[in-house]
Amino acid sequence: MQVFKLCIKVLEKNKTAMLIYIFIFLVISVMISRLSVSKPQTGYADVKTDIAFLSEENTPLVNGLKQELSKSANFVTVADQTEALQDALYFRDVTYIVRIPKGFTERFLKGENVRIEKTTVPDSVYGAYLDMKINRYLTTAALYAKYGGGMPQKKLVSLLKSDLDQTASVTLKPEKVRSAETVESGGTGTTFTMYYFNYLAYVLPAVLIFGIGAIMQVFNNRDLSLRSFCSPITARNYNFQFLLANIVFCIVCWAILLIPCALLDPKHFFSRATSFLLLNSFAFLLSAGGLSYLIGNLVKNRSAISALSNVCSLGPSFIGGVFIPRLMLSDTVLKIASFTPTYWYVKANEQIEALGTFDFSNLASSYGCMAVEAGFAVAFLALGLTAGKKTRVAG
Amino acid sequence: MIISVKNLVKRYGNLVALDHLSFDVEEGEILGLLGPNGSGKTTAINCILSLLKYDKGEIRIFGRPMRPDAYDIKRDIGVIMQNVAVFDELTVYENINYFCGLYIPEKEKRKRLVEEAIDFVGLNDFRRFYPKKLSGGLLRRLNIACGIAHKPKLILLDEPTVAVDPQSRNNILEGIQRLNREGATIVYTSHYMEEVEQICSRIIILDKGKVIANGTKEELKNMISLGEKITVETSAIHPEHLAALRRIPGADSVEYANGLLVVKSGKSKNNLENVLDFLKKQQIGYGRIYSELPTLNDVFLEITGKELRD
Ligand SMILES: Nc1ncnc2c1ncn2[C@@H]1O[C@H](COP(=O)(O)OP(=O)(O)OP(=O)(O)O)[C@@H](O)[C@H]1O
Ligand SMILES: [Mg+2]
């Protein structure tokens, strides 16, 4: 295991710099998340937005939803005609239109896949908030419908209402509750854990690019590789040890970064929601590892690597929604950001956060994001391999 | 036969770096590959080690064909490349231990070998130093220790003394002779003829990827017509003097330039006395006088018409 040990020694030589990254990250993430946990929700809840609620049927379930939304919205009456509705949106008489189609309740309670139609103005912060509310209402309702043993609709709605009131009361009176405890475990809401996982999108690439970059510097040195090629160690054994060292490094970094979160916010860390955050962060770890390998193969000097490790961790974090919420970023910025794994990582985190319950249909889109992250990992690795081969042959 | 190279051809694009190169290395010898910059020494070494793909030819080591995956052959070879190749992240001891470890998995045995290698190159006081802190000469010694710690039967050294002070150079050359006495066969490339003359039992002179001469240094010097070369510092030589000097029997060439009179004699002729007599008789004042026997440079010069070193 000479080669493996060598990689570890190279990493040890560079550990101070990496520990500094991690330390700064911890300080920043703890500070920022303590400051901002749950704030956005309170902000939105205080200001009510104007929406149109059009329903083609009148059932307890629909009325319950309307009542739930009334906590965050004022209902404006708009004639149910395409032109009138468009005008209303255009002039911002309303920012959000909900339409419940006929037969919705019946089909919904049967567990069929039915959708509420919604129309919204672009870039609406409230729109996302209302989406979340509706989503939470319906996922919880679906849960009762599925496991409630066919209870009457009225009962279902009242149970639902008391459920949702519990969390709602928290957002309305945040000063009474300690911020990190606002939301019940497995539930929704922006927790410390949530922030922490988002910020991982900054620190993981920074540390991995730095560490793997340092290893690659050593291993892509032509004179040193020639010496290894002269020795009786087989190419397969050599590559295996090298790969193993890099994988171990990635996993150790990941684990080290997760421990503070588990210590600082154990209640949420060991919840069901976090297991999905963990899965997502693992997918992101793969892409960050792949990126580091690519950069390590392309860049030939130390200072360029540490510069790139800053650029590639900070840049995507700013445009991908880590430091600035995605809702506040323009479409163009987000479109650019979607070419980075960070965007998909944050998006998946938000989707996981927004879910009231976890069943497969709800998670499908966040699995999609994770798949995109893994796709990035594969692409980076493939590019890195090609670039690496080129340097070795050309040198 | 330890190494056999037959009709080796290596091209870089249009440039033919090795042109049907053939030679053998016998067990126990120190073979010198001598050639000017760009003559193909490094290319030849790299082809022998299967580090480079070549266009044509056959290479056998220890009687077996050499290939990139001939790991059992590689086990018995030690390599010291032209460029220093050590890890900046590892100390002197760790570097030697790492490279030795690629050959010797057993910890105990390796420990002993690494200690011996450190002793061998005289780096005992520097074992905890990082390469960045070593002088050029010490760094070269470390480079050598990394290549020979596993006690190989065959050692290839590619210009191990480039840019090294005389003290380290002697240490290195003596070391190579010691390794040879302990049983290793050695291939040594250099463009310093003095080094090659000093340590090699046989010399191959390369030029433009071809063997132009092959033999012991005595054999090589016998190949050429040149014998003694007399150089006189003097400022009062006239053309008629030169004509008279040229009449001395055995004086093949008489030149005068920049205050230096050079008289070259044919093989096994001694003309120093004759030249001095002549100068005295003509009452020509002179400064230093020295006489040299032919060097490998003269051999190279006579065969190729150019100097070994520019
Ligand atoms: N990678 C390469 N690509 C193209 N040409 C090369 C390459 N390596 C060497 N050459 C050319 O091949 C010829 C032989 O080079 P080589 O390095 O073998 O010479 P050398 O005898 O080792 O010289 P030196 O004494 O300078 O080390 C030179 O003309 C050199 O320019
Ligand atoms: Mg060379």
At A118-169, the pLDDT tens digits run 787 766 667 777 877 888 788 778 877 777 777 788 888 888 887 777 654 4
How many A×B Cβ pairs under 8 Å? 56
- Amino acid A394: pLDDT: 44
Residues of B in contact with A13 (CB under 8 A): 89
Tens of pLDDT, residues A37-57: 554 444 444 567 888 888 888
Instruction: Output the 3-class SS for A152-197.
Output: CHHHHHHHHHHHHHHHHHHHHCHHHCCHHHCCCCCCCCCCHHHHHH
Nearest CA in chain B to A7: B89
Q: Are A45 and A186 in contact (CB under 8 A)?
A: no
Give how far Cα B248 sits from Cα of B236, B260, B275, Å.
Answer: 19, 18, 8
**pLDDT above 60 for A393:** no
- Amino acid A47: pLDDT: 65
- Amino acid A167: pLDDT: 52
Q: What percent of chain A has pLDDT over 90?
A: 24
For residues B146 and B85, what is the distance between their CA atoms, to the nearest angstrom? 9
Walk across the sheet containing B56-61 and list its strands.
B15-25, B3-12, B56-61, B64-65
- Amino acid A150: pLDDT: 74
Encoded tokens for B241:
């003097």
Mutate to test the interface with B, among A14, A223, A227 (most CBs of B within 10 A): A227
Q: What percent of chain A has pLDDT over 70?
A: 86
Q: Which atom of ligand 1 is nearest to the CA of B13?
A: 4
B136 touches chain A (CB under 8 A): no
Q: How many CB atoms within 10 Å of residue B280?
A: 10
- Please tell me which of the candidates A10, A218, A232 has its beta carbon nearest to residue B103: A232
The tally of CA atoms less than 13 A away on the side-chain side of residue B117 is 29
Nearest Cα of chain A lies from the Cα of B187 at a distance, in angstroms, of 15
**pLDDT above 70 for A178:** no
Q: What does the buried/exposed string (b/e) look like for A222-258 if buried means 16 or more CB atoms within 10 Å of the residue's CB?
A: eebbbbbbbbbbeeeebeebbeebbeebbeebbeebb
Measure B210 CA to ligand 2 centroid, in angstroms: 15
Tens of pLDDT, residues A267-323: 888 877 788 889 999 999 999 999 999 999 888 888 888 888 888 988 999 888 888
Q: Are B17 and B209 in contact (CB under 8 A)?
A: yes
Q: Do B87 and A218 touch (CB under 8 A)?
A: yes
Nearest CA in chain A to B49: A230
Q: Do B146 and A227 touch (CB under 8 A)?
A: yes
From the list A289, A307, A256, the residue with the least C-alpha distance to A373 is A289
| DSSP category for residue A101 | P
Please state the φ and ψ torsions of residue B200, each to the nearest 5 degrees.
-90, 140
Mutation to probe ligand 1, out of B41, B81, B157, B210 (largest number of atoms < 8 A from CB): B41
**pLDDT above 70 for A116:** yes
Walk across the sheet containing A96-100 and list its strands.
A73-75, A49-55, A96-100, A117-120
Pocket of ligand 1 (CB under 6 A): B 12, 15, 17, 35, 37-43, 82, 159, 191
The answer for residues whose C-beta is within 8 angstroms of residue A183's C-beta and 6 or more apart is A167, A170, A189, A191
Q: Do A9 and B89 touch (CB under 8 A)?
A: yes
For residues B306 and A164, what is the distance between their CA atoms, to the nearest angstrom? 96
Mutate to test the interface with A, among B62, B89, B103 (most CBs of A within 10 A): B89
For residues B277 and B157, what is the distance between their CA atoms, to the nearest angstrom? 48
pTM of the model: 0.72
**pLDDT above 70 for A98:** yes
Q: Which stretches of chain B score pLDDT less than 50? A: none
The residues with which B11 forms a beta bridge, in sequence order, are B16
Residues of B in contact with A229 (CB under 8 A): 49, 51, 68
The answer for residues whose C-beta is within 8 angstroms of residue A373's C-beta and 6 or more apart is A280, A283, A284, A286, A287, A341, A344, A345, A348
For residues B125 and B118, what is the distance between their CA atoms, to the nearest angstrom? 9
Q: Is A179 exposed, middle or buried (0-12, 13-18, 19+ CB in 10 A)?
A: middle
Domains of chain A (ranges; CATH) run: 2-42+178-394 (no CATH), 49-164 (3.40.1710.10)
Q: Do B81 and A227 touch (CB under 8 A)?
A: yes
- Amino acid A12: pLDDT: 92
Tens of pLDDT, residues A188-219: 446 788 888 988 998 899 999 999 999 998 88
B250 touches chain A (CB under 8 A): no
For residues B18 and A395, what is the distance between their CA atoms, to the nearest angstrom? 19
What radius of gyration, in Å, describes the C-alpha atoms of chain B?
24
B85 touches chain A (CB under 8 A): yes
Measure B156 CA to ligand 2 centroid, in angstroms: 12
Domains of chain B (ranges; CATH) run: 3-221 (3.40.50.300), 226-293 (3.30.70.980)
State whether residue B21 is helix, strand or coil.
strand
Q: For tokens 């049983």, what's the residue?
A: B183
Nearest Cα of chain B lies from the Cα of A369 at a distance, in angstroms, of 39
Give how far Cα B168 sits from Cα of B125, B155, B192, Å.
Answer: 15, 19, 15
- Amino acid A97: pLDDT: 87
Q: Which atom of ligand 1 is nearest to the CA of B35?
A: 21
